[in-house]
């Protein structure tokens, strides 16, 4: 007759956790802090779950990691969006190849408002929010600037002399047209 098989299920059971009397300070990543006001409640919760120091640390690690990811996600999204907009502006057929000229025109438009503080505050808001990098914003302000600001200085032929007669409409349209009066 064979002996009854030993009950091996006892060997496969996980070790029983025992919560410590008092949890040690939990380790967290550099720059991250656990709120000291809620830690007594957290310790009580961990104790009620009968978590060992190591198991509680595992939960704290998970919590800190997820909180840090949640905190940095909006910043990363904002940076990616700004990069995308700048690439779109640089690739735009209307303004992409002459971004310095576009910036100068928009700058002149803002300066033409006549209120330097307002212009500076507006520029700061565009920098802070990143809205100043949006292709539609840049194109719209560039078009407005082209219509509302003075163009660049053009060198002309100089003023007419005192004895020079005004030119006729035909002479203005056809400057090389011979005239009967010689003028």
C-alpha distances out from residue 148 to 63, 117, 173, Å: 55, 20, 27
Domain that holds residue 130: 92-150
Residue-wise pLDDT tens digits, 149-161: 765 555 555 555 5
Residue-wise pLDDT tens digits, 51-75: 999 999 999 999 999 999 999 999 9
pLDDT at 45 over 90: yes
pTM of the model: 0.57
Do 136 and 99 share a structural domain? Answer: yes
Q: Judge contact between 56 and 46, C-beta under 8 A.
A: yes
Do 98 and 58 share a structural domain? Answer: no
Do 101 and 55 share a structural domain? Answer: no
- Alpha carbons within 13 angstroms on the beta-carbon side of residue 67 total 13
Q: Is residue 183 part of a domain?
A: no
Do 54 and 22 share a structural domain? Answer: yes
Q: What is the DSSP letter of 86?
A: H
Give the CA diameter of the chain.
Answer: 142
Q: Is residue 114 part of a domain?
A: yes
Give the residue, 113 or 167, on which the prediction is more confident: 113
Do 67 and 30 share a structural domain? Answer: yes
pLDDT at 22 over 80: yes
């Amino acid at each position: 007759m064979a002996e009854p098989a030993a009950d091996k299920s006892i060997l496969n059971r996980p070790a029983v956790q025992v919560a410590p009397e008092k949890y040690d300070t939990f380790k967290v990543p550099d720059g991250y802090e656990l709120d000291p006001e809620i830690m007594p409640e957290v310790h009580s919760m961990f104790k009620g779950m009968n978590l060992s120091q190591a198991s509680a640390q595992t939960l704290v690690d998970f919590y800190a990691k997820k909180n840090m990811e949640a905190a940095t996600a909006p910043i990363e999204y904002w940076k990616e969006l700004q990069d995308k907009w700048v690439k779109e502006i640089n690739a735009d057929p209307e303004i992409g190849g002459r971004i310095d000229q576009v910036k100068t025109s928009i700058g002149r438009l803002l300066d033409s408002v006549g209120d330097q503080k307002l212009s500076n505050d507006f520029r700061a808001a565009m920098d802070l929010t990143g809205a100043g990098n949006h292709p539609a914003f840049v194109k719209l302000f560039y078009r407005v600037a082209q219509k509302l600001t003075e163009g660049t200085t053009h060198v002309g032929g100089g003023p007419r002399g005192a004895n020079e007669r005004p030119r006729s409409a035909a002479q203005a349209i056809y400057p090389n047209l011979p005239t009967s009066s010689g003028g």
